[in-house]
């Protein structure tokens, strides 16, 4: 990696970045201060159009691929050089916040603007990217377009995904005019960075401004069904019951204990439960629930898997239940590239910003991009750790600090023309 010279006085325009964030937040604004900008809706189209307008004004060349990913390129001295990518997503949850995703997009645009202001030519091109349908709220699964870029999904699979009304992702792209002609991926990427709010409370509680993201959590999802016998709530003695909901309750408690056992990175959650027949005076004869576990180390995920299965068997046996546990999703942990991690860390040090290493508990487009290019992430705090919520908030100072770290990390990877 060709190193840019240290430019300790180089900064983004924090006020301009904040103004851009606030202007973008008007598209799909909700009464409670958040945004609803579902993927490939008219509101998503408006946000894309505005980004492209700003990118053109900044002198970028814009191209759109067949799954709707937008790449705004600031040319480098080496026109044929592999670019440095930076960006995130513009779509939101139905009751989403103003900064999730779009902060990384507009932070990348602000890097371009700051380089323009300073008259700096980079050795390599810089691409600011919007990835399509990161949230997965309208079209499942999440991060599907960056997944196509990384070869995880085929283009045909992505375009055939449907929303609740039966509209395919491909048709939605056509409707808003973002079914581009460019092939998806297939070109070399020198390095990639994603700037994002943490979506948790670790940085805020520790008093750090910058999270140097070292890895993304691995995830495993399970669907569990416990089967006992439906029984009359008044006539069936306690010692004769085969209560499936009781088994689920004991399992839920175990799942919580398991996550805490593997602190600080362990996560274990039961997010969905259905008791059947779901009648107030019937002992439940069947219970369905979901489990997900997360950790950045594959060996620990294996250990958690084994512990879950052993606990389920023991609990079911104690109550006299039949058990079925099916793993439905396995998302491997993602280690980020050492050179990109170092570029982020060194940028934070050079800018005298309080920073700490952190593991991402959420999935991000960067986790797929890391399969095809050296990749890093930068986190800033969000107030109260609140995200996927209309009350999501950050401070202008945090926003500016994260964008400054991104600026210097991108310069490290892109190089300054004529520098040696």
Positions in the chain short of pLDDT 70: 1-7, 420
Q: Tens digit of pLDDT for each residue in 239-274? A: 999 999 999 999 999 999 999 999 999 999 999 999
Q: How many CB atoms lie within 10 A of CB 189?
A: 17
223, 367 Cβ separation under 8 angstroms: no
Strand stretches in 102-190, DSSP E = 126-131
Could you give the CA distance from residue 336 to residue 174 in angstroms, rounded to a whole number? 34
Q: What pLDDT does residue 134 have?
A: 96
Q: How far apart are the first and last CA of the chain?
A: 12
Here the tokens at position 284 are 């439940």
**Is the full-model pTM beyond 0.85?**
yes
CATH of domain 218-331: 3.30.70.360
Q: How far apart are CA 288 and CA 228, in angstroms?
A: 12
For residue 37, give both structure tokens.
Answer: 């900008």
Contact yes or no for 341/214 (Cβ under 8 A): yes
- Whether 14-216+333-414 shares its CATH topology with 218-331 is answered no
* Cα–Cα distance measured from residue 38 to residue 133, given in angstroms and rounded to the nearest whole number: 8
The domain over range 14-216+333-414 is classified in CATH as 3.40.630.10: yes
Separation of alpha carbons 399 and 103, rounded Å: 8
Which residues are 79's β-sheet partners? none
What pLDDT is attached to residue 420? 57
Domain ranges of the chain: 14-216+333-414, 218-331
Q: Where are the alpha helices (DSSP H) in 211-331?
A: 244-261, 298-319
- pLDDT at residue number 59: 98
Give the per-residue pLDDT at 5.
Answer: 45
Name, in order, each residue with C-beta under 8 angstroms of 8's C-beta and a sequence gap of 6 or more.
350, 351
Would you state the pLDDT for residue 77?
97
Per the listing, tokens 């325009």 go with: 13
Measured between alpha carbons, how far is 106 from 87 in angstroms, rounded to an integer? 8
């Amino acid at each position: 990696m060709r190193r840019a010279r240290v430019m300790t006085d180089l900064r983004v325009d924090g006020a301009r970045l904040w103004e851009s964030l606030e202007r973008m937040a008007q598209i799909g604004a909700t009464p409670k201060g958040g945004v609803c900008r579902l993927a490939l809706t008219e509101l998503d189209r408006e946000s894309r159009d505005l980004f492209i307008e700003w990118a053109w004004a900044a002198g970028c060349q814009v191209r759109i691929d067949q799954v709707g990913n937008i790449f705004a390129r600031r040319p480098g001295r080496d026109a044929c050089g592999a670019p440095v990518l930076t960006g995130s997503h513009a779509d939101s949850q139905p009751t989403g916040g103003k900064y999730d995703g779009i902060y990384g997009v507009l932070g990348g645009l602000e890097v371009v603007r700051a380089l323009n202001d300073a008259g700096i030519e980079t050795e390599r091109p810089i691409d600011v990217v919007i990835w399509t349908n990161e949230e997965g709220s309208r079209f499942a699964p999440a991060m599907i377009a960056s997944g196509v870029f990384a070869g995880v999904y085929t283009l045909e699979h992505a375009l055939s995904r449907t929303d609740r009304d039966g509209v395919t992702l491909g048709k939605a792209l056509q409707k808003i005019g973002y079914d581009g002609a460019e092939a998806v991926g297939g070109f070399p990427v020198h390095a990639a960075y994603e700037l994002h709010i943490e979506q948790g409370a670790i940085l805020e509680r520790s008093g750090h401004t910058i999270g140097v993201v070292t890895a993304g959590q691995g995830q495993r999802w399970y669907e569990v069904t416990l089967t006992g016998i439906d029984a009359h709530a008044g006539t069936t003695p306690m010692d004769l019951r085969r209560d499936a909901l009781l088994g689920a309750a004991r399992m839920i408690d175990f799942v919580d204990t398991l996550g805490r056992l593997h602190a600080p990175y362990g996560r274990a959650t039961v997010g969905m439960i259905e008791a059947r027949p779901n009648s107030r005076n019937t002992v439940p004869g069947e219970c369905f629930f979901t489990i997900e576990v997360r950790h950045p180390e594959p060996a620990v995920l294996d250990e958690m898997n084994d512990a879950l299965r052993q606990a389920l068997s023991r609990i079911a046996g104690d109550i006299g239940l039949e058990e079925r546990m099916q793993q439905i999703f396995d998302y491997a942990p993602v280690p980020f590239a050492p050179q990109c991690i170092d570029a982020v860390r060194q940028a934070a040090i050079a800018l005298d910003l309080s920073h700490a290493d952190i593991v991402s508990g959420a999935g991000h487009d960067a986790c797929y991009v890391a399969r095809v290019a050296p990749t890093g992430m930068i986190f800033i705090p969000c107030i109260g750790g609140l995200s996927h919520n209309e009350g999501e908030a950050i401070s202008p100072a945090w926003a500016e600090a994260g964008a400054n770290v991104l600026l210097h990390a991108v310069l490290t990877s892109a190089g300054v023309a004529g520098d040696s």
